[in-house]
Chains A and B, each alone.
Chain A
């Protein structure tokens, strides 16, 4: 028997059963923390953050915020601007799942901030109308406070809602991500450890199968070697990030995401660093890597762009929803603006100079940082 490559580094994974009362308490704690951050009156926001995070917490956020070290940075770079942009914001959790990964407790949250886009955010012009801002998060909880977070906010999707699309049109459908079809993704009741284990192992078997991709041009026959059909529901929904869009079924996933992606990044592979969450919780699973997935941009087609030959690191999370046999739904927060930046395309620079008429075009294009 031939030894199959382990490009996604799933072979060493071991599921750790969790105490369900503790797991529910952790998830409830994160839900409460986030609710307090979102609801605190602006003068009390700093207090809410102190109650939420350890003093040395590291909060990693998608581009252009990137890393926030400590409470002050999380306040000035993430939470105060968010609250200012959407003063009447509400947080809608659509998935909240928890478990143990590498000796720590991790909670994954997926949902939308809904609110009136009243003030510019990161120079994205306010629409004065309602917007729905996608988030996906992984939080490491220690002693009732967050010690580390990965926060994916789909700023490109917000740009889209603000009426500015800087890229080639997406092949998938740009639409608001749906909550799980069973409406039961916020897991605040005890789950069966056996089912949780089954779910994450099912997902990792799929990851392992993805890892067996040979790097050859992704024709249907080559894609079939990964045997994705064994892992997915025939009508599975794949909720992709802005830039790629949402697809349905294996053919839709292949045509609108997998083929362009593998053509562009045939050597894409997991690395030894950056994987922060792999948990199963009931019928839900969450995985995520912060620059764990790496590749060389050697092929054309992804986002309509030519190959740049550059090495890139990707920030990606996956939220999965399974039934008894297959994966039915997959939500994919993915830092597309950060990936483009590594390829040499500065979406925010382009937006500022070409959409924000107040900004000088030369600030971006001629290199002065004024």
Chain B
């Protein structure tokens, strides 16, 4: 199995290399070498389910390469592991380049842009048979000065690579270390889920799991923050105030896998909740049941979590509650949109 994870990273290595070069004419062929023809592809709203490698190219990468012709993929986390009998490779990084043309009607900046991605690939027989991927499209809107909704409470950051610069894990698979770190994250989530239904903030025992200097890199719209105080203030309290009945995550333990110091989770969706209170993203309580897609990475250090990269499909969430983010963005940037 250990060798298997190394081999799976090599499969994704071909995909990473292709997008590092970003050669549009060559890409469809390169994708077909990596993805099974009937691969299940699930990409952030508004892309949603795409049909195999050709759908992924036509619907997503071709428009992205049209908008950013000098596209370059930069991974800062690449890990592999097994969960629930499935083998996954998880990547986090940024698509980087000069935005020369519109992308999803986001007006071009003619300047360098960076869009974070968290992408997970399920591998069978050395082929990708499922992809779950979030691209931080709101982050791109913000760089284009076109984000049409409320500002982030946290800081709009270019999420950095791990502080230890070892996110691209190449060491031989360490079963014991991976199992311990995976369990740490599961225990943390298990305690976290007890609040607010089974007690105040203390039942989460946050100090037990999180390093005093931990960084939490949330999606654009939520932002980055530091420490328990920052995490509580800028993300968790508004989140739980609005959705006290949130559930999921840890109940699907078979979506978590680990590799060295890193833990990743898939989930499409992996949280379910009712938006019933004020506070989150400035959204009113619409009393609507929604689901969230969150694809996350944790870095553990001496039995504590020191960094957490989180992407949530906020555009999909807005779609569920009836807010057309793209329509408002087009109206707000009308002078920068092509004339009819």
Q: Tell me the nearest residue of chain B to A347, going by C-beta.
A: B282
State which of A304, A308, A340, A350 has its C-beta within 8 Å of the C-beta of B149: A304
Do A167 and B323 form a contact, CB below 8 Å, given A304-B150, A365-B238? no
Closest CB in chain A relative to B284 CB, distance in Å: 4
Residues of B within 8 A of A300 (CB): 322-324
| Residue of B279, B318, B324, B332 most packed against chain A (CB within 10 A) | B279
Residues of B within 8 A of A169 (CB): 147-148, 332
Extra contacts besides A307-B322, A344-B277, A361-B232 (8): CB < 8 Å:
A166-B282, A168-B328, A304-B150, A309-B286, A344-B285, A345-B283, A361-B237, A365-B279
CB 8 Å contact bits of B313-337 with A (1 = contact, 0 = none): 0000010011110011001101000
Q: Give the CA-CA distance A350 to B233 in the complex, in Å.
A: 11
Across the A-B interface, the 4 shortest Cβ-Cβ residue pairs: A306-B321, A344-B284, A344-B285, A300-B322
Counting CB contacts under 8 A, is B151 at the interface? yes
Counting CB contacts under 8 A, is B161 at the interface? no
CB 8 Å contact bits of A340-360 with B (1 = contact, 0 = none): 100111100110011000000
State which of B151, B233, B278 has its C-beta within 8 Å of the C-beta of A345: B278
Q: Tell me the nearest residue of chain B to A310, going by C-beta.
A: B284
Number of B residues, CB within 8 Å of A: 32
A contact set with B: CB distance below 8 Å: 165-169, 171, 255-256, 299-301, 304-309, 340, 343-346, 349-350, 353-354, 361-362, 364-366
Closest CB in chain A relative to B233 CB, distance in Å: 5
Residues of A within 8 A of B150 (CB): 166-168, 304
Counting CB contacts under 8 A, is B110 at the interface? no
B283 contacts A305, C-beta separation under 8 Å: yes
A308 contacts B285, C-beta separation under 8 Å: yes
Counting CB contacts under 8 A, is B50 at the interface? no
A255 contacts B331, C-beta separation under 8 Å: yes
Counting CB contacts under 8 A, is B62 at the interface? no
A308 contacts B286, C-beta separation under 8 Å: yes
Residues of chain B from 95 to 147 with CB closer than 8 A to chain A in the complex: 147
Do A350 and B241 form a contact, CB below 8 Å, given A301-B324, A304-B328? no
B contact set with A: CB distance below 8 Å: 147-151, 153, 232-234, 237-238, 241, 277-279, 282-288, 318, 321-324, 327-328, 331-332, 334
State which of B151, B283, B327 has its C-beta within 8 Å of the C-beta of A306: B283
Do A350 and B285 form a contact, CB below 8 Å, given A169-B148, A304-B149, A365-B238? no
Do A171 and B278 form a contact, CB below 8 Å, given A165-B151, A304-B149, A365-B238? no
B322 contacts A306, C-beta separation under 8 Å: yes
Can you spell out 6 A-B residue pairs with CB atoms less than 8 angstroms apart?
A169-B147, A305-B283, A306-B284, A306-B321, A308-B284, A308-B287
A304 contacts B278, C-beta separation under 8 Å: no
Residues of B within 8 A of A354 (CB): 153, 234
Q: Give the CA-CA distance A344 to B284 in the complex, in Å.
A: 5
State which of B147, B237, B284, B285 has its C-beta within 8 Å of the C-beta of A366: B237
Residues of A within 8 A of B277 (CB): 344
State which of B233, B237, B238, B282 has its C-beta within 8 Å of the C-beta of A167: B282
